Amino acid sequence: MNAHNIVLTPINLVSRTLTRNGKKAKNDYIREKEYMENGNIGKWDDSKYNNSNIGEYFAFVHQKENRVEIYKIDNILLSTERPEYWDIPEHNQRNVLYLSPMINQITWDEMKNIIGYKETFLLRGTQRTKKSINLI
């Protein structure tokens, strides 16, 4: 893989203290994973700045499980194309990222090291890295 920015989104599947939006995002993640496992194209929200680009990477980050699923961004649709069941109000203006099949899986600790985040860094909300990174 060449150096690219990566969009990271936290998926906290084992947290007992999820907010309403956190629970909704968790359920959306489960739905999207099932959708992808049935041969369909996966999708997810862009960051709040809608600054992702086709060809960059996207990752579902499972911090508590120390696992990161990495995908390539194959297409981007405007926020007007969001599925109806994506109904977190704060996300309504976010574009839709269409994802490749999963291309790699690494640990969260490895990802933090690659990006240059401190060991104690906690991902809170979807964000795009500020610098390009090599994932291999």
Mean pLDDT for 127-133 is 88
Residue 66 lies in a domain: yes
**Per-residue confidence band for 132, with pLDDT thresholds at 50, 70 and 90:** confident
Residue 135 lies in a domain: no
**Per-residue confidence band for 115, with pLDDT thresholds at 50, 70 and 90:** very high
> Looking at the predicted structure, is the pLDDT value of residue 86 above 70?
yes
Position 136 scores a pLDDT of 58
Give me the residues paired with residue 104 across strands. Answer: 70
> Looking at the predicted structure, is the pLDDT value of residue 91 above 60?
yes
- For residue 121, the domain's CATH number is 3.10.590
Question: What is the amino acid identity at position 17?
Answer: T
Position 77 scores a pLDDT of 97
Residue 98 lies in a domain: yes
Interatomic CA distance for residues 77 and 54, integer angstroms: 10
Nearest Cα to Cα of residue 11 among 133, 123, 127, 135: 123
Residue 54 lies in a domain: yes
Look up the domain containing 106 and give its range. Answer: 6-128
> Looking at the predicted structure, is the pLDDT value of residue 101 above 90?
yes
Number of domains in the chain: 1
Nearest Cα to Cα of residue 45 among 60, 66, 23: 60
Per-residue pLDDT tens digits for 1-23: 577 899 999 997 555 555 555 67
Q: Average pLDDT, whole number, for the chain?
A: 89
Residue 92 lies in a domain: yes
> Looking at the predicted structure, is the pLDDT value of residue 120 above 80?
yes
Q: Is 116 left (phi over 0), alpha (psi -120 to 50) or beta?
A: left
Position 3 scores a pLDDT of 73
